[in-house]
């Protein structure tokens, strides 16, 4: 079983974005892919845009990948 180091949690209704954790530590609320890429770059992942659709790296939880608003 794969345990990706990056989790993009389900959309929040209060923040209209998705909480992001890296190795279990919260790094912020992403409102779009650019926010997520910036969080990953700050964590030292400089080719972050290439990781977003890699399930070995990113676990998109509760909603489809790249969707940041609650239904």
Tell me the pLDDT band of 1, cut-offs 50, 70 and 90.
Answer: low
pTM: 0.91
Helix ranges (H only) for 1-71 are: 33-42
59: helix, strand or coil: strand
Structure token pair of residue 38:
């910036």
CA–CA gap between residue 55 and residue 31 (Å, rounded): 20
Q: Over the stretch 13-59, which tens digit does the pLDDT of each residue have?
A: 777 899 999 999 999 999 999 999 999 999 999 999 999 999 999 99
Q: Is the pLDDT of residue 62 over 60?
A: yes
């Amino acid at each position: 079983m794969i345990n990706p180091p990056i989790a993009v949690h389900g959309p929040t209704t209060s923040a209209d974005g998705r909480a992001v954790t890296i190795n279990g530590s919260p790094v912020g609320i992403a409102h779009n892919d650019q926010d997520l890429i910036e969080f990953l770059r700050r964590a030292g992942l400089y080719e972050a845009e290439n990781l977003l659709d890699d399930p070995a790296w990113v676990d998109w939880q509760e909603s489809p990948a790249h969707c940041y608003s609650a239904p």
